[in-house]
Structure 1
Amino acid sequence: MAHELIAYIATTGAILHSILFLSTDTKVNEHSCKSEFPYWYWGIVAALAMYLLIPTSGLWIRQTLYEFFLGWHIAFSAFTLGYETWIYVAIAVWGFNRITRLLRALRNGIKMACIIPIDDRYVKVESSDAEFVKPGGHAYLYFPTLTWRIWESHPFFRYLDGSTRTSSTIDIEKSKPTGSASPISDSTSGANKPHRVIGHSPQHKAPYTSPPITFYIRKKSGLTASLAFHCTLPVLIESTYGICTPIPPSSTLLCIAGGVGITAHQPLLAAHPGPKKLFWGARSEALVRAVQPVLGLADGEIEVALGRRLDLRVLLEEELGDGSKYGYGRGGERASRHGG
């Protein structure tokens, strides 16, 4: 979001800069003279590159033509910085960043990842000997044998499975019910058409030498789509970024997640000792079966809307209201829980 906002601000500045300088130089009859200098026509190239970056960076383009988007995004960004010294500096900084990131991944060594299909949308990726991936942060995963673009990586949140096991994981298709059940609702209120999701015990065995770390990944049309066709893959892990900030124990934690986005919330929920509530909208019952048993939440702390979107306005009005449900006054201050 910050990247996008900065891009809009910079592009707006470039438009104003072009208009003002063109108007000023035209009035003093200097346009024909200045337009012959390299800084002028390279400035035109830079401005045009900025204008093109905005419409060619839309969500639809990024999702359907990501590789092409990445290429022209880098090229246009380089042209935006101008010519000669400026572009050389930009290339040097960008190259240093890419090389440093790759060296950081190589320093951690090549790990073996176990790929476990959850359903036709999601896969579970487990890797041992990767304790350097800190809880609450995200890591970039490289699968060099899946594509000739060995530099390609994608960010994923580490999922804390809460387990001390060293040689097992969960196979959704082959596991049997343990007998425990937790309710799932197909609405945000939890009152309509309750579903029952049965917990599963580990059945699939993997030769881990240490407790594995877990990533849940939604398959899309690119590299991630081919993950399900493999049982094991070598993986490079670049980590850790974006460690979450602890929330004060006295605060009430209200999390709203969608689909595999639960992986970003789970470390916060696991670390928070105070009151908490999770609302989770999911389309995949298999994903819920895989994740919910290890969330460690009581029945009153989680509500799942299966197969439909969460109505955020209704949800927040019901949960927060005037703040009395979670011990807050109308002014936003925490109300006292002591009698008298």
Structure 2
Amino acid sequence: MRRDRYLIKEELPPDLFPRCPLSHLLLRTTKMAAGYGVTLAAAAAQTAAQKAAKAEKARQKLLNLKYTNIYAYLMAGIIGALILRNLALTILDFLDGRNRRRAQSSSEPGTEKLRGHADYSRKMSILRFSDRVDAVLAQSVAGLAIEWTYARVFFVTLIVVINTVFSIVGSTHLHSEQSAASSIARAFSRRCGRMAVANYPILFCFAGRNSIISQATGFSYQTLRFYHFLFGGIAFILSFIHTFAYVAHYTIFQGVDKLAEEYHETYFKWGIVAVVFLLVNCVFGLPWLRRRSYEIFLALHVVGAALILAGTWYHRPICETWVYAAVGVWGADRLVRIARHSAYSVGRRMFVRKPLIKARAQVVAGAIKLSVPADGLLWAAGQHVYVSFWDSGLLPRPWLYGPAQAHPFSVSNAPSGSSGDSMRFVMRVHKGLTARLARLIAARSEAGGSAEVDCWVSLEGPHGKHSPMSDFDTILLVAGGSGITHPLSLLDRACRDAISTETPRSALSKIILCWAVHREAQLDWVRETLESAGERARQAGVDLEVRIFVTRSESQASSAASSFAEYDTDEDFEDKEKYGAGQPLSLAGRARRFSGRPDIGAEVAAAVSDSGRTYIVACGPAQLARDVAKAAAPFSCASVVVEIAKFEC
């Protein structure tokens, strides 16, 4: 037993069996067996750890799939609720309008028209309640920019909180010990990567001009663009966290050398491609940079989107479902765009039209006036279309030719319903496409001796909608520069409705148009529409006031007129010169010219001072829009509807 004890302890004294060779052999054998036992134990422990890591990875994979699916269902539920709300309100509004038209047609001829609030009181109570809720949600949050309404703050907070919670829950808890194969950093990295990719379908869905979400929810394209940028930013942030959490795992648990080896793997490089172009698209999508380099932004955005999807696919094929969904949404938008270039529907019938239309264009006071034959195309006041130019003079610069440069422009007139109708546009000359096009038109006009020249264009749209104006007593239209086009189409429509037999008792009694321009010559942009609208207002007994505010002196205007790169900037509205009675203008209606910047607060207060309902529309530079929104905020309610029109590429 003493010998066994020494053997077990591996402490055999060298002179215990000095003459026995067997003892030395036994000692060596025992040591080898002990070492082999240790090796077996280590191998068994390593195998168990690997099995635990694989089991943990499989558990995380199922957990990631579970939470990304829940996230998709939750986003679909939110969008579905908005769709159902819009559908219900559309149906109720149609029924309400039909009932009110029947009530009007059954009344005795010559009956005095109702005031706006009296006519509005006949509206269904559920619709009036919805209007009150919308008025509250549309108010700007105190201390934030005017774009940040209560509705926007709510949805942004909801989306950010959901993404944050779903990225953390379950990903920071392991069922095994942290090791080189599994750690909290790695689990968190995987979850953030899956959540980033889960945002791809809705990101691409909100990017399309012809998005079915816009049609189904009633949200404008400009509203969806904001949420497109939001989801793009969330996808980038989650991808950024995914990347550096993965780097942290390798640095802490496997070493920098192992990370360097992973860097040379194909999946790693494609992942970097996806993250880099997510960053590029987010940076060039910032408004201040996009406006100054739109051509670069457009090219990078399309190429970047393709590389983001390709990088995600090659980085982790497990994300193929989300990539398929995003590609499907993107492809569907492109197909619809092609269809809307070549066809349109009237009622239940589909008509094929020429994809290219010969328009007439001329350069007037730093802007391009464009008249496009409608060719049966129907549009409504307040809508806009995307215009592409196919002029041969643009071929040397293919990035400006055709659909490579499709810009949104508001239609400046309402449809007359007669044959030979045309859509009118005013396109302020900036850098890029409009500057090049203005030079071509001016050169051809000078060579041909005619102010107007032919110009081939294609139209995509129309897009957008506006509130009905029939139950408002007063309409206040505020415009700056070329922003006159959107309010002017509403003015044209309101004056047409006022003399129409279809609306014999329109509540409209007063229209005020405040337009700030650099110089008086810019009135020629829309003189025809202003004069025709003024004549209709006179026939209908509607009080039309046109107030033109010239914000630059003659010397400033003449120096600016020498360039085709004249801007509508916020600085144009910094002049706070007080204006008096003004000078009369040769326009239909009560038109007067003032010098300096309009007092937006006084104009809004005067418009809403009378009893009744007021519709306020503003379109122009950002500063003008902020002033109108700020001035109208104290009056915002169901009886005062404010619309800030904003159109960006």
TM-score (norm 1): 0.68
Paired with 1:125 and 1:88, the residues of 2 have a C-alpha distance of: 41
**1:23 counterpart = 2:269:** no
**Superposition pairs of residues 17-96 of structure 1, within 5 angstroms:** 17-24=242-249, 26-29=251-254, 32=259, 38-59=266-287, 61-81=289-309, 82-84=312-314, 85=320, 90=326, 93-96=329-332
Provide closer, same or farther for how the CA distance between residues 211 and 69 of structure 1 changes in structure 2, counting only shifts above 3 A.
same
Letter in 1 for 2:421: P
**1:150 counterpart = 2:402:** yes
**1:213 counterpart = 2:423:** yes
Q: Structure 1 residue 238: deviation in Å? A: 2.1
- SS state of the match for residue 151, structure 1? strand
1:13 maps to: 238
**1:115 counterpart = 2:365:** no
Q: Deviations over 1:140-198 (max 9, x none)?
A: 2222233333323222111216879x9xxxxxxxxxxxxxxxxxxxxxxxxxxxxxxxx
Q: Structure 1 residue 263: deviation in Å? A: 0.9
Q: Structure 1 residue 249: deviation in Å? A: 1.8
Paired with 2:473 and 2:234, the residues of 1 have a C-alpha distance of: 35
Letter in 1 for 2:370: V
2:385 maps to: 139
1:241 maps to: 463
1:301 maps to: 545
Equivalent of residue 486 in structure 2, options 264, 268, 279: 264
Paired with 2:545 and 2:515, the residues of 1 have a C-alpha distance of: 11
Q: Structure 1 residue 285: deviation in Å? A: 2.3
**1:254 counterpart = 2:476:** yes
- SS state of the match for residue 303, structure 1? strand
Q: Structure 1 residue 134: deviation in Å? A: 0.3
Gaps of 5+ in 2: 1-224, 315-319, 344-352, 396-400, 445-452, 495-506, 538-542, 553-571, 577-596, 614-633, 640-649
TM-score (norm 2): 0.39
Bigger helix share: 2
How many residues are paired up? 291
1:201 maps to: none
Q: Structure 1 residue 323: deviation in Å? A: 8.8
Paired with 2:477 and 2:606, the residues of 1 have a C-alpha distance of: 18
2:557 maps to: none
**Superposition pairs of residues 275-314 of structure 1, within 5 angstroms:** 275-292=510-527, 294-295=529-530, 296=533, 301-308=545-552, 309-310=572-573
Q: Structure 1 residue 122: deviation in Å? A: 0.8
Paired with 1:251 and 1:14, the residues of 2 have a C-alpha distance of: 52
Bigger strand share: 1
Paired with 1:52 and 1:104, the residues of 2 have a C-alpha distance of: 30
Q: Structure 1 residue 105: deviation in Å? A: 1.4
Letter in 1 for 2:420: S
Provide closer, same or farther for how the CA distance between residues 300 and 244 of structure 1 changes in structure 2, counting only shifts above 3 A.
closer
2:63 maps to: none
- Tell which deviates more after alignment, 152-161 or 58-67: 58-67
| Contact 1:14/1:47 (8 A) holds in 2 | yes
- SS state of the match for residue 244, structure 1? coil
Q: Structure 1 residue 321: deviation in Å? A: 5.0
| Contact 1:116/1:125 (8 A) holds in 2 | yes
1:190 maps to: none
| Contact 1:114/1:125 (8 A) holds in 2 | yes
| Contact 1:246/1:268 (8 A) holds in 2 | no
- SS state of the match for residue 359, structure 2? strand
Equivalent of residue 333 in structure 2, options 86, 97, 109: 97
Q: Structure 1 residue 284: deviation in Å? A: 4.1
Paired with 2:370 and 2:606, the residues of 1 have a C-alpha distance of: 42
| Contact 2:369/2:525 (8 A) holds in 1 | no
1:325 maps to: 609
Paired with 2:302 and 2:294, the residues of 1 have a C-alpha distance of: 12
Letter in 1 for 2:340: R
| Contact 1:133/1:239 (8 A) holds in 2 | no
Q: Structure 1 residue 50: deviation in Å? A: 1.9
1:180 maps to: none
Identity among equivalent pairs (%): 25
Q: Structure 1 residue 24: deviation in Å? A: 4.7
